Each structure stands twice: as structure tokens, then as C-alpha cells.
Amino acid sequence: MKYANEIFFFVVALIAWGLLYGSRFILTLGKASQAEKLWLTALTLTASSFTIFAAASTLSLSLLTLANTFFIASFIYFGLFCRSLNGPVTKNVHFIVVAGLLVFAAVFEYLRQNGLFIHRVGLISLIGASCFVWELKELRRLKGIQSTQLRFLVYTIAIELVLTIARLVALYIDGGLNTPNLYQEGVISSSIRWAWLGITILSHVAVLGYWLEKISLEKTQAIQESSRISALLKEKERLIYGLLKANKTAATGALSASIAHELNQPLGASNLNIQFLKMKLEKGILNPELGKEILDSLEADNQRAASIVKSLRSIFAEGESSTEKVRMGDLISNVLDIVTPELKSKNIQIQLRADDRLAIKVNPAEIEQVILNLLNNAIQSLANSGTLLRRITIEATQSGRLARLSISDNGGGVSAEFRPQLFELLSTTKQSGMGLGLWLCKHIVTRYGGSIHYEDALGGGATFVFELPSAS
């Protein structure tokens, strides 16, 4: 068939261009690696050389020098691609390659005009075979890359090597000395050349498969990574929950003595009243007014004890994670119920200004814990300072769409050096401190889309302000 070679070249050129088109995702995925660029160059050269081979017999046989130069260049760049899998290729290599190719083109052109076809095939086969041996050596050196596609590539290159030599031998046996050019090559050597070029395409397919294999591996790793991250996030939540509990325990520890004292008062008074009542009843001398008076007093003591227990339960209750609309004033008074004995024993005055309508949508126990932490810190700061007129001011106001609560004391305040790490985990200036309180306050408040910050109080001392979306 007259144009069999041209048609063959045209078909393999089409396949090579198709492969190149299908590989453009490499360039659009992000920054292409050196190996990817070198392989794309090799594939472009392969596609270009096959295209010129297909057209040269019709346009001009002198184009064969260009086609063969591109052909050889494609092997060299394929070799550089294999080399780059083992480590980076220096930029100077490109200059050396281009210079070498110019020399090759000159020699080839000389042979085209003055030499025999078999000499030119000999030259191509020699360079081609050297490239294949080099590529195989580079692929064998590969460590740490487990790829079925690269293993397949070793086979295709080995076959290319065998076919290159086989074609030269076949050409020599099959009247090579009288063959003018590749379009008139004998059937056997032509068939071997076709098989060889077909395998060249397979080598490129193997590399494309390698990139796809790599992407899917990276994707699997990314999926594993993201599930590891979500496990870590869950772990973080568990840890924070643990810290919340630890902080509650610490806060209870600090206050337990005074809470016990506060509970003992109504309970002790009740006990006395009951003894008194019993005595009067036994003697049968209880008049109705006195009886009512004693019962009223018992009821008041009972209510006082119940209110302390209720406040404690609301703050230290477990597992309440649902939110509800609550009045800020109620949260403050729940906490004050707990700290009042402490305030009394340390001679601290409380000034409270709370907007009655101010409401927020939160889990009350959490915000009560924030208020308790801030009050506790203020109490400790006042206890450690030499201030005689100890005062804590609590202000709850509406500020635009936010509910704003500030707790100020006239204690020692926070030093400028310590301020940057004030809300950081485990940062404390107290000997027995844990550095948990303010970090947790910030964690809780930000979870509700709010914020917390420190200001110097007017006239000295500390002011902590937190703001939450208002539900008033």
C-alpha cells in the first residue's frame, strides 16, 4: 500500500496529540512538577515528530531531518523525565541537550545528503538504544515509588530497546543498503518499526497512568487526613469538655468552704427552731403566735437553703447542652447566691446594675460558669490587694444588638506584660492557679458568636467585658 507509512505516522501522531490533550489536567491542577514538565515536553516532541514524518514525503524530504531531531529529542526528554523521578535535573541540562540536538541535526542532514539510509537508521538506533538503557537504569534506581504503571513502563522500554536493534538488523538483512528512505523500507523492518512506535505510545500511556495513579493516591491520603482531622477535632471537644469539668471542680473547690458555711447557717437555725418548737410542744405551752413565728422562720431558712442548692445545681449540672432564652439578671443572681458568703467574709461590696429586659439565648449553666470565673478572679484579686474599700461592679446593658456584661474590681489589675497571654490556656500568675478560667470563658463566649476582652478599670483594677448576641 503506497501511503501505508504516512497513514501509520498520521494515526500514531493523532493518538499522541490526543494523549497530550488528555494530559492538560497536569497543567491546570496547580504548579506542575519538573518530572511532569519533562514528560509533557517528551510527549509534545513525539507527537510533533510523528506529524512531520506523516507529512514529509508529500511536502519535502528535507523535513525528515527535523522529524528525526524531534524524535531523538523526545527520547532524551523521556530519559530526563525518568532521571527527574530520582532527583531534580539541573537547568543547564537543557542547554546541553539543545546543543547536542543541533549537532545531531547537522550530522543527520549531512548523512541525508551524502550517506545511506541504513547509516541514518544506525545513528538513530544507536542514540535511541542508549536512551532506553539510560531510562531503564533510572527506573531501576527508583526507591520509595511503588507504582504498577512505572513497572509496566520498564517492560515497554525494554521492548522498545529490543525492537530498535531488531529493526536495524532486519533492515540490514532486508536490502538495507539499497533502501533510499523510510517510506521505501522493506516489509519486515517496517513492521518492526511500526511495532516499536506503537510501543512508544504505550510508554507514554504508562506515564499518564502513573500521574493518575499518583493523583488517586493523594486523594486517598487527603481523605484519610481529613478523617484524622475530624477525629482530632472530636478529641479536642472531649478535651474541652474535660477542662470545663475540671474548671467547675476548681471553682467549687475555692468556694466549697464558704458554701458549706452558708448552708450551715439556715440548717443550724432550723435545727434550733425545731428543738425550741419540740420543747414548747412537750411542755404544752405553745401559743399560736409563737408557733407561727417559728414556722415562718423555719420556712425562710428552708427557702434560703433551697435557693443555694438550686443555684449550685444550675451551675454544676451535667450534660445540659441545649440553649434557652434567659434573662441576664437571673444568671447573675444565681452566681451571686453562691459567692455571697465569700464576698461577706472578705468584706467585698457588690454594685449591681442590670437591665431587667436583657436576655440571651444560651445554655445557662455555661454563661453562669463564665460569670462565676470572672467573679472568682475579681474576689481573689481583691483578697490579695491592699485595698481597704473592696468593691466589685457588675453592669449588664444592651449595646446595639449585643448584650454586654462587665465585671470590674478595684484590685491590682493585670500587668501590661501579662495582658497578651491573659486568655491563653494554662497561663496564670497564681501559685495554685490552673490558667483555665479565662481561656474557658473565651471558649464559651466565642462559641456563642460573642467576644471577651480586658480593660483597665477606672481608678485602677481590672474590668472584664463579654458581649453576646442579644435575645431581648
Looking at the Cβ atoms of 128 and 411, the one nearer to ligand ADP is 411
CB of 443 to ligand ADP, least distance (A): 11
Residue facing ligand ADP at closest CB distance:
437
Q: Report 449-468 residues binding ligand ADP (CB under 6 A).
A: 462
CB of 85 to ligand ADP, least distance (A): 53
Looking at the Cβ atoms of 354 and 374, the one nearer to ligand ADP is 374
| Alpha carbons 120 and 143: distance in angstroms, whole number | 37
Q: Which residues contact 47 (CB under 8 A, 6 or more apart)?
A: 13, 16, 17, 19, 20
CB of 425 to ligand ADP, least distance (A): 8
Do residues 26 and 211 make contact, with C-beta atoms less than 8 angstroms apart? yes
CB of 299 to ligand ADP, least distance (A): 38
Binding test (CB under 6 A) with ligand ADP, winner from 13, 370, 378, 396 = 378
Q: Report 184-223 residues binding ligand ADP (CB under 6 A).
A: none
Binding test (CB under 6 A) with ligand ADP, winner from 41, 270, 381, 393 = 381
Q: Residue 35: what residue type?
A: A
Looking at the Cβ atoms of 184 and 429, the one nearer to ligand ADP is 429
> Which listed range, 45-53, 165-173, 328-336, 372-380, lies at the site for ligand ADP (CB under 6 A)?
372-380
CB of 358 to ligand ADP, least distance (A): 22
Looking at the Cβ atoms of 197 and 378, the one nearer to ligand ADP is 378
φ/ψ bin of 30: left (φ > 0), alpha (ψ from -120 to 50), beta (otherwise): left
Looking at the Cβ atoms of 82 and 374, the one nearer to ligand ADP is 374
Q: Report 384-413 residues binding ligand ADP (CB under 6 A).
A: 409, 411-413
> Which listed range, 38-46, 77-85, 273-281, 370-378, lies at the site for ligand ADP (CB under 6 A)?
370-378
Q: Report 83-102 residues binding ligand ADP (CB under 6 A).
A: none
Looking at the Cβ atoms of 5 and 373, the one nearer to ligand ADP is 373
- Nearest Cα neighbor of 2 from 60, 44, 57 is 57
| Alpha carbons 169 and 119: distance in angstroms, whole number | 12
Sequence length of the chain is 472
Binding test (CB under 6 A) with ligand ADP, winner from 311, 363, 377, 410 = 377
| Alpha carbons 408 and 348: distance in angstroms, whole number | 12
Rounded alpha-carbon distances, angstroms, from residue 316 to 250, 252, 281: 11, 9, 41
Looking at the Cβ atoms of 411 and 450, the one nearer to ligand ADP is 411
Neighbours of 210 (CB within 10 A): 21
| Alpha carbons 133 and 154: distance in angstroms, whole number | 10
Does 136 contact ligand ADP by CB under 6 A? Answer: no
Looking at the Cβ atoms of 326 and 407, the one nearer to ligand ADP is 407
Q: How many residues bind ligand ADP (CB under 6 A)?
A: 22
Looking at the Cβ atoms of 329 and 433, the one nearer to ligand ADP is 433
CB of 409 to ligand ADP, least distance (A): 5
CB of 255 to ligand ADP, least distance (A): 13
CB of 464 to ligand ADP, least distance (A): 7
CB of 220 to ligand ADP, least distance (A): 42
CB of 412 to ligand ADP, least distance (A): 6
CB of 452 to ligand ADP, least distance (A): 11
Q: Report 411-450 residues binding ligand ADP (CB under 6 A).
A: 411-414, 418, 422, 428-430, 433-439
CB of 340 to ligand ADP, least distance (A): 18
Looking at the Cβ atoms of 166 and 251, the one nearer to ligand ADP is 251
Neighbours of 427 (CB within 10 A): 15
Looking at the Cβ atoms of 1 and 388, the one nearer to ligand ADP is 388
Looking at the Cβ atoms of 99 and 239, the one nearer to ligand ADP is 239
**Site residues for ligand ADP per CB under 6 A:** 373, 377-378, 381, 409, 411-414, 418, 422, 428-430, 433-439, 462
